[in-house]
Structure 1
C-alpha cells in the first residue's frame, strides 16, 4: 500500500515575508528591509538585523536591552520578543532580529544631504536624542556607541495640514552595558569604547569602568556635527584623536556656532565627566529652552519643529489678478506694461530616502 505524505497546513493569518533590499552592513552584521503582506492585503515593513554565530552575544544583548526599553520615547522599537535562528546559503547559523523601519534613514545621511541644519531642527533633534538617553540611563545602561549613524529618522506627515516632521530614535545597542561595568569591547590594539570620532576621554583609558557621561560627550560631537555639517576631528587618524583626548583636548568649535549652542557643546565636552551633568539636566539647558513658551507653572511643552510644505499655486494668473486688482494710482501708471512674476515654493530639507509605497 502506497503512503502519501500529509501536506502541511498553510496558515493564512501568518504574514508572508519578502526581501525588499539591503539597508547596510556593520561590524556585527547586516540590516535588510523586508515586507510583510497580511491576509487582508495590507503591507508592512520591518528592518531585520542579521548576525552570524560569532556575534550572537552582541545581537542577543541588544534584544534584551530593547525589550526593557520597549515603549520608551526616543528608542527604536523591536518587533517580537526573541531572535529568529536560521541557516544561510553557506549552511552557517545566523540570528535575526526585527525592528521598526526608519523610512527617513539615519542622521549621517541626513546631514550629508542637507549640510548645516537649521537651529530649530538641531534643537528639536537634540531634545529627542536626550529624551532617548534619559530612557537608557534611567534603566542603568550606557549606550557606548552614540553617533549619527545610529540615530534613525521616522517621517511624520500630516496631509491635512500639509505639515511633516521627523522623529529621531536611538538604535544599535550592541555595545550597551550597565553603568559601572567594564566594557567587553576593550582590545589591545584599539583600547576604546565606541566609534573613534565620537569617543570621550574616558573611552581611551583601557580597563576603566564605563559611566553615563560617556554618552553625553558623544552627544556633544553629534550636536557640533549638525551645526557645522562636518565630522568632529575631521582629517585626524585614530591615533591622533586618542593622543589629543589624553592631552585634554576636545574637538574645535568654530566661531560660526551660535553662543547658546557653543555653551551646550562645551558642557558636553567638560573634561571631568561629572561636570557634564546628566541627560535630564541637559534637557533644561538654555540652548534647548530659549524658544520654549512656559506657562505660569513652568511646565510648558514646546511643540516639535516640523517642515511645512507649501505647494505652488496651480495657476499663476489667479495670483496675479488677486495682487493687481487694486485701483491704486501706482498700479495704473504701470498697467500698460507687461507683468512678470516668479513664485518660488518653500524649500524643505532634503532627504535621499524615498518612503516605500
Structure 2
C-alpha cells in the first residue's frame, strides 16, 4: 500500500519543540519544519512501546494513558485554582522534576514531586498543541506541551494524533541519556493533556543556524553529541526516523539533545520498518522505496543531511520542491555537497549519504571520524605546542 504523504505549509519555528500542523491529505504524509523552510512533515506511526519508567507510579500512569481509557481515567487527576495560569497536580507521582533543575542523567533519581506549577510565557505551537514555559513553586523551569484532546480534527485524525502522542510519551519515559530531551511526566485537566519536558532555552539547531553562522568547531561538537544520542537509541534497536536540525534542541550550556519521538520505532525480528515516514528532505532512499525494509542506517543518512544543513544554513536539495527531492532520493541521489566545505566535513557527509544502507558506517564508527574529533585534536595541539 502506498505511503500517505501530507502537504503542510511552513509555520513559525517553535523555540523548544519543532512546529507542526495538520493539513489535508493527498497521496504522500509530510509535517512542516522550522521557519523559512519548505514543507516537510512527519507521518504518524502506528507503534506503541511498553512503558519502563523509574518509578512504579509513573509506570502505572503511562500504562493508564496507553490503555485507551484515559479520557475517563484521568478526569480526577488534577484541578484548577482560581488563577487560570496555575495548575495544581493532585496526583503527585505523575510529575517529577530533577532537583535544582539538574538534568544530568547520572543524577536522575534525585527527583522531586511537583505539587503545583504555573504556566508562563507562550513559546509557540508544537506537535499536537501549544508549548509554554512553566515554573514549579520551587523556581525550577520546564517546558509544557498543552494538548486539546477534543480539538484534533476529524475522528480518525484525532485518534491517529492521540495514538502518536501516546507512542511518544511511552518511548520518552524509557529513555535516559544526556543527549535526548528528558520527559518529566503527564497530567490531565478536563479535555487538556499536559506533557512536561525539559526546557531547552536556545531552541532548535535550525533556529540557531538562522541566527548565527556556525563554525566547523560548533558543528563538529553538535554532531558528536547527536551521534552519542543515536548510539544510545540504536543500541536499543530504536530508529528515530526524523533526525534533522529542527528536531535537535539546544541547551543554554551548549549541549544538544534529540527530540520529537512521535514516529520513532523499536525494531526486532518480529517488527520491521517499511512505511515511508519522516521529513522528506532528510529521508534515506530505502525509506522512500516501498519495496524495501530499513533500520538504523536510515538515521545515519538523515544525520548526514543534518550536518550538511548546519554547515550550509539551508535544507538538503535546497532548490527543489519536496516532490522533486523525493524523486531524487528514491533514485539514490544524495544532495550536493559544496566544495567550499572542509575536506573532513565533506568526507563525513559523504560516508553518511552512501545510497546503500549496508555501506554506511554505524553511529559508533562515525564517532571516530576526524571531523567529529577535530575539536579535541585542536585542544591537544594547543596543549602540546
Give me the TM-score of the superposition, normalised by structure 1: 0.67
Residues paired across the two proteins, number: 261
The residue aligned with 2:168 is 62
- Give matches, 1:262-277, under 5 Å: 262-277=346-361
1:66-102, CA deviations, whole angstroms, 9 ceiling, x for partnerless residues?
22212x231111113xx32223xxxxx3322101101
The correspondence for 1:133, drawn from 230, 251, 261, is 230
Q: Structure 1 residue runs of 4+, over 6 Å off?
A: 8-11
Tell me which structure has the larger Cα radius of gyration: 1
Instruction: State whether residues 183 and 193 of structure 1, in contact with CA within 8 Å, keep that contact through their aligned partners in structure 2.
Output: no
CA contact (8 A) 1:198 1:221 kept: yes
The residue number in structure 2 matching 1:34 is: 134
Q: Is the 1:141–1:179 Cα contact (8 Å) retained in structure 2?
A: yes
Q: Which residue of 1 aligns with 2:255?
A: 167
**Partner secondary structure for residue 315 of structure 2:** coil
Query: How far is 1:14 from its partner?
Result: 5.2
Partner Cα distance (2:255, 2:244) in 1: 16
| CA 1:219–1:14: 2 relative to 1, 3 Å | closer
Q: How far apart in 2 are the matches of 1:155 and 1:20?
A: 19
Matching of residue 178 in structure 1 with residue 262 in structure 2: no
Q: Is the 8 A contact 1:179 1:210 kept in 2?
A: no
Where structure 1 has 5 or more consecutive residues not aligned to the other structure, the ranges are 1-7, 88-92, 157-165, 187-191, 295-300, 303-357
Unaligned runs of 5+ in 2: 1-80, 82-87, 91-112, 150-157, 381-385
Structure 1 match to 2:306: 222
CA shift, 1:263, in A, is 0.3
Is 1:152 the counterpart of 2:260? The answer is no
Corresponding residue for 1:78?
183
The residue that corresponds to 2:369 in the other structure is 285
- Matching residue of 1:50: 146
Distance in 2 (CA, whole Å) between partners of 1:207 and 1:25 is 35
Asked if structure 1 preserves the Cα contact closer than 8 Å seen for 2:89 and 2:116, the reply is no
User: Deviation digits for residues 282-333 of structure 1, max 9, x if unmatched?
Assistant: 1011212245359xxxxxx98xxxxxxxxxxxxxxxxxxxxxxxxxxxxxxx
Taking a change above 3 Å as real, the CA distance of residues 285 and 195 of structure 1, as seen in their structure-2 partners, is same
Q: CA RMSD in A?
A: 2.7
Aligned counterpart in structure 2 of residue 102 of structure 1, from 188, 191, 200: 200
Q: Deviations over 1:10-57 (max 9, x none)?
A: 99x95432221222224433322212223xxxx111111233442222
Q: Which residue of 2 aligns with 1:121?
A: 218
Q: Distance in 1 between matches of 2:335 and 2:174?
A: 34
Contact map agreement 2:281 2:326 (CA 8 A) in 1: no
User: Residue in 2 aligned with 1:318?
Assistant: none
Residues 166-315 of structure 1 aligned to structure 2 (within 5 Å): 166-179=254-267, 181-182=271-272, 186=275, 192-206=276-290, 208-293=292-377
Following superposition, the deviation at residue 241 of structure 1 comes to 0.8
Q: Deviations over 1:94-143 (max 9, x none)?
A: 3221011011111111000013x111111000000100111111111000
